[in-house]
């Protein structure tokens, strides 16, 4: 695991990488993560992860056999929160009707 235990930035909380989207030319990687906690904590983690993107690229350079190492940027993945909200709404509708 590239991120597990190697990033020492105190802004980064316990995050889970949910997926990565690469551009067709493999020059950019959008890394999505989820995290439990407040919006402030999630933003701090995003800032810390993006601050470490250069380190991540250097580590990837040693692991990948690519002509260009992708630019790495991190984004909070709201999919889990959205699906949880839909599930709660459906449960309320079922219980109410």
- Provide the residue-wise pLDDT of the chain in tens; the chain has 97 residues: 566 677 888 899 889 999 999 999 999 999 999 998 899 999 999 999 999 999 999 999 998 888 889 999 999 999 888 888 899 999 989 888 5
Q: Which fold has domain 16-96?
A: GMP Synthetase; Chain A, domain 3 (3.30.300)
Q: Residue 59's closest CA among 19, 2, 1?
A: 2
**Total-model pTM:** 0.80
Of 1, 7, 4, which Cα lies nearest the Cα of 50? Answer: 7
Tell me if 76 sits within 8 A of 33, measured CB to CB: yes
């Amino acid at each position: 695991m590239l991120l597990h235990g190697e990033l020492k930035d105190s802004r980064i909380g316990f995050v889970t990488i949910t997926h990565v989207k690469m551009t067709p030319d493999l020059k950019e990687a959008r890394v999505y993560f989820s995290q439990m906690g407040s919006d402030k904590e999630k933003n701090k983690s995003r800032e810390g992860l993006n601050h470490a993107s250069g380190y991540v690229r250097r580590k990837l350079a040693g692991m990948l056999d690519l002509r260009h190492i992708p630019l790495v940027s991190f984004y909070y993945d709201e999919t889990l929160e959205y699906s949880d909200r839909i599930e709660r709404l459906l449960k309320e509708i079922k219980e109410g009707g």
